[in-house]
Amino acid sequence: MRKTLLGQITPEEFLREYWQKKPLLIRQAWTDFAEIIDYARLAELARRDDVESRLIEYKNQQWKLESGPFPPSRLARLAETDWTLLVQNVNHHIPHISELLYRFDFLPYTRLDDLMISYAPPGGTVGPHYDSYDVFLLQVGGKKRWQISSDDASGFIEDAPIRVLKAFNPEQEWILEHGDMLYLPPKYAHYGVALEPGMTYSIGFRAPKTQEIAGKFLEFLQDELCLDGMYADPDAQVTATPARIDEQFTQRISQMLNKVTWNEDTVREFIGRYFSEPKPDVFFDPKDEVLEFDDFVAAVSEHGVALELKSQILYCDDTLYLNGEVVECEPESIPCLQMLANTRELPAGEYDETLLETLYIYYEYAYLAPKHGHAV
């Protein structure tokens, strides 16, 4: 049985007793790392312009925030204590980090966001704060003291470049060592301070605001709607107050807007497109040299195929969505594509030509690749 990262409790128990309810400390949740991302590797990512990174320092009672990419000379000037380097979406760039992220598959991929890695020497911290989403904090190397509190009412320090609570009154405290993990529900205040050089892998979950979802859904409707007719008022009357918005005009406009309707199928399609759509800073670069179709088929037969690290497939019934697009495929290909969506790979083997043709299209888009050519 595959290890679940939840210690001695089952995913069902975790969702019933802890998820969005109360914190959970899991000792030795995960120690089976394919490799450890050391500071040098993280700094290398932070120097790239296609990677989102931040540097947080606390100097002279003041918080300081810088955004990457960082030249080597800047990172070389860092002190021995009191700073934190954070790199977002490391799962987009390193395969075994992506594999770790997708081990949290006891929840739907529509909720899973990214795996951020932060490195801190002794004293490194981002201050007491809370997140508006669920988060797992996995300690990798070193030691970090975590204090948590259910009280988040103090508000944040004005004019600070990061969200730091004005007052923090800890209710519980632990020291996390390599492999220990802390789960926190949304808006649970927490304050982590590195005691030894080490990293925190932060697994975050998507929790979009209602306003964001509504705005994106209206954008989706704008692209999908096709309404007939135009404004007409054949019974118009002479008016002595031409600047007044009259009731009849309002009623007619209201009737036109009533044609904007949707149902659950519309919402499902919006979910499939929106929640599989790459983030704005994510781009897919087709390779300069791609395999010919017959060579691609041979590679899949020998090695299997895997999604590129930045790709996401979701599905509802027989409709699949890959990176915000509806997948055009034959009905007989759907079971294998659903397997690819759930496991992010297909094993080596012989597959129907219609499926292979579909896979090859998305291989040319750089959305997937034979496993031996998977992104690194």
Each domain of the chain, given as residue ranges in start order, spans: 11-205, 211-260, 293-373
* Helices (H), ranges, 112-209: none
CB 82 within 8 A of CB 124: yes
* Angle value at C-alpha 95, between 92 and 101, nearest 5 degrees: 70
- The pLDDT of residue 374: 45
CA–CA distance, 84 with 98 (Å, rounded to integer):
22
Tokens of 169: 């009154």
pLDDT band at 154 (very low <50, low <70, confident <90, very high): confident
Q: In CATH terms, is domain 11-205 a member of 3.30.2270.10?
A: no
pLDDT at 230 exceeding the cut of 70: yes
CA–CA distance, 204 with 184 (Å, rounded to integer):
10
pLDDT at 239 exceeding the cut of 60: yes
- Across the chain, what does the average pLDDT equal? 94
- The pLDDT of residue 2: 63
CA–CA distance, 247 with 160 (Å, rounded to integer):
49
Over pLDDT 70: what percentage of the chain?
98
pLDDT at 375 exceeding the cut of 50: no
pLDDT at 321 exceeding the cut of 80: yes
- Full DSSP string of 296-351: HHHHHHHH-EEE-TT--EEEETTEEEETTEEPP--GGGHHHHHHHHHHSEE-SS--
pLDDT at 9 exceeding the cut of 80: yes
pLDDT at 1 exceeding the cut of 70: no
* Angle value at C-alpha 20, between 15 and 26, nearest 5 degrees: 65
Residue 136's Cβ-count burial label (10 Å; 0-12, 13-18, 19+) is buried
pLDDT at 212 exceeding the cut of 80: yes
pLDDT at 157 exceeding the cut of 50: yes
- The pLDDT of residue 164: 94
Tokens of 194: 């590195």
- The pLDDT of residue 107: 95
CA–CA distance, 66 with 68 (Å, rounded to integer):
7
pLDDT band at 376 (very low <50, low <70, confident <90, very high): very low
Tokens of 346: 């297909």
- The pLDDT of residue 210: 96
21-60: pLDDT as tens digits: 999 999 999 999 988 889 999 999 999 999 999 999 998 8
- The pLDDT of residue 287: 84
62-116: pLDDT as tens digits: 999 999 999 999 999 999 999 999 999 999 999 999 999 999 999 999 999 999 9
